[in-house]
Chains A and B, each alone.
Chain A
Amino acid sequence: MGKIIAVHSYKGGTGKTSLSVNLAATYARSGKKVCLMDLDFRAPSLHALFKDYETDYWLNDYLNGVCEIDKVLVDATKDHGNGGKLMVGLANPSTEAIRDMTAKDRKWEMKALGRLLSLRSSVLNDGGFDFIIFDTSPGLQYSSINAIVTADVVLVVTSLDASDINGSQRMTSELYDLFEKKTGILVNKVIADYLSSPEEEKKFNKYIKSVHSLPILAVIPCFCEVLRAAGDFIFSEEKPDHPFTETLEQLANKVEKF
């Protein structure tokens, strides 16, 4: 049976989108059927990466009940399948759509949760997909909590910023634990100095385990090359032998068995 993965973080700019995209590409490369969805309706991003794909309907429309999910998903397999299948659901980046999504009431959010929950049946069961990956908005937003409730696994991306660590700790006890979700931490953008030798790495791993009560699924070094990709292409696709890609492959395996 397929899995729904929500990639979340307390703060913005932690690398959720980059990791969501590269994780999706990694699964596709291993022959899986993957569906990547942009649930960050306040600051949509995936449309910029998948700019060559035209769509008449957005995930906003699906949640609004305007259309079903098959009308929203664009097939990126030709360019990004690499042996598997990659479909993408985009969030509408227009100012009007963002304004509309931020003005929704509780009743609408409740219905949106129902629409997200039914993706398990339409995409995973009927569509035969192996994974749905939700790229969410940071913090305690309706859309991200809806995604967390829907997901089987939550991946929390955190930097080493003190406020980010503190926020992730609070979200663990006040959000992920309350919904009894399988949750793992991805420490992203780790400075190379911390991983410069096996001793340093051991010391760093000990420290990170002491600050997070959740399992650490990946420690991802800060690579200038990845930053240089600047959301313009899928790094792990272009550089299959790079250490970043290797880390993503290890992460993909762990999440599959998680």
Chain B
Amino acid sequence: MTYRKLEGKSTQILEKIRENLEKLNEKIDVMIEIQKHGQREIPENLPEALDVMTLLSLPDHLRKTAVTLCKLEKATADDVAEQTKRARAVESGYLNQLVIMGYMKKEREGRKAYFCVNKED
């Protein structure tokens, strides 16, 4: 009984660590983008149209993620990783970059983070 309780506790702690690492990852992604383009050029979540011409102009690694999300409409990094056969952490990084670039929106539903294409005007 005590062993099971301990096991449950450590799973919770690990989950918390994973969540915090993810948040750290996102912050690092933002910092990288700021370093690359400078604070002023970052569109700060302003919606940008992710049309096919924009898809064509994206670097290969981001295009694959963006096209997959267009097909799935709304998905987690896990869902995208399943389609692209790339690691979840990699997709999470790319999706967050696309959010920073203004092409996608990120919504948290409970513990899960969902990404969707920004269709607002």
Nearest-neighbour CB distance to chain B for A8, whole angstroms, equals: 13
Residues of B within 8 A of A107 (CB): 49, 51, 119, 121
Residues of B within 8 A of A175 (CB): 56
Chain A, residues 96-135, CB within 8 Å of chain B (1/0): the string is 0000000001110111011001000000000000000000
Given A113-B52, A146-B52: A180 and B71 within 8 A (CB)?
A: no
Pick the contact of B119 from A110, A142, A178, A180 — CB < 8 Å?
A: A110
Closest to A177 in B: B60
Nearest-neighbour CB distance to chain B for A136, whole angstroms, equals: 12
Residues of A within 8 A of B53 (CB): 106, 109, 142, 145
Residues of A within 8 A of B70 (CB): 113-114, 117, 149
Q: Say whether A179 faces chain B, with CB atoms less than 8 Å apart.
A: yes
Q: Determine the distance from Cα of A107 to Cα of B51 in the docked complex, in whole angstroms.
A: 7
| Contact status B73-A109, CB under 8 Å | no
Residues of B within 8 A of A142 (CB): 51-53
Chain A, residues 136-149, CB within 8 Å of chain B (1/0): the string is 00000010011001
Closest to B54 in A: A106
Q: Say whether B64 faces chain A, with CB atoms less than 8 Å apart.
A: yes
Nearest-neighbour CB distance to chain A for B65, whole angstroms, equals: 12
Q: Determine the distance from Cα of A79 to Cα of B117 in the docked complex, in whole angstroms.
A: 42
| Contact status A106-B67, CB under 8 Å | no
User: A209-258: which residues lie under 8 A (CB-CB) from chain B?
Assistant: none
